[in-house]
Amino acid sequence: MSDNKPLLWTLGGAAFAFVAVVFYWIFALTLSDRMRSDKITPQRTAEFIHAVLEANRNNYTDNVVVKLQRDGIEAHEHWRDERGVPLPAQFLLESGRLVALKDLNLSFRLASLTPIYVWNGANSDLERQGLTAVQKNPENPFFGTIKKGDVRLFQAIYSDKAISQACVDCHNSHPNSPRRDFQLNDVMGGIIISFPIDQ
């Protein structure tokens, strides 16, 4: 693991800095008076965030994971303890964990109706409804609102598909997986994005 630690720190730092800057820009525009007068909807804001997440994960997959594999450095589940880098899904989850540490009430994560680990399941009835909806209709995101304390949050759920054979093989062969018949391009779950909206 020591062989690739500097590379991981560099790649991770650059990726997280990119995500932080883009999210700051999105929220600054969304919350400004000028943008409010233009009526930027929560749905549109969710589209912006989802586009950034999707681009960042695809970029990581194509330009980090694939290139490192050529040098014998694999992406795998136990990347923290062994030589390697996070799987693309873990990269998104780790980014979400770091963003959640900020005081923004912004969060994003992957979730599934058939998660490998229970903590990646639905956390509410709204999330269960949304994951069911995007499973049936992958091209249409699901939207709703929830309350977290005194804060009203907009929640968007986008389908998350098995875009590579590695995703399929990992989920079908994992000892904890409750489902083992995934095929390429199947909906495996959803990306859940939450952020505050005005009362």
Maximum average pLDDT range among 22-31, 125-134, 143-152: 125-134
Two structure tokens written together for 40: 């930027």
| Of residues 80, 90, 79, 96, the one with CA closest to residue 16 | 96
In 101-185, where does DSSP find H-type helix? 125-136, 165-173
User: How many percent of the chain have pLDDT more than 90?
Assistant: 43
Distances (CA, A) of 192 to 29, 49, 145, 182: 21, 11, 12, 21
Q: Contact, 194 vs 107, CB < 8 A?
A: yes
The helix/strand count (H/E) of the chain reads as 7, 4
pLDDT in tens, 14-30: 565 566 555 655 665 55
Residues 6+ apart with CB under 8 A from 123: 111
Rg over CA atoms, the chain: 17
**For residue 196, pLDDT beyond 70:** yes
**For residue 109, pLDDT beyond 90:** yes
Q: Decide: residue 57, CB within 10 A, 0-12 exposed, 13-18 middle, 19+ buried.
A: buried
Model-wide pTM > 0.85: no
User: How many percent of the chain have pLDDT more than 70?
Assistant: 80
> Model confidence at 117, in pLDDT bands (50, 70, 90)?
confident
Q: What integer pLDDT is reported at residue 124 of this predicted model?
A: 94
Q: Rounded to whole angstroms, how far apart are CA atoms 100 and 104?
A: 8
pLDDT in tens, 164-180: 777 777 788 888 888 88
Q: What integer pLDDT is reported at residue 67 of this predicted model?
A: 86
Q: What integer pLDDT is reported at residue 52 of this predicted model?
A: 95
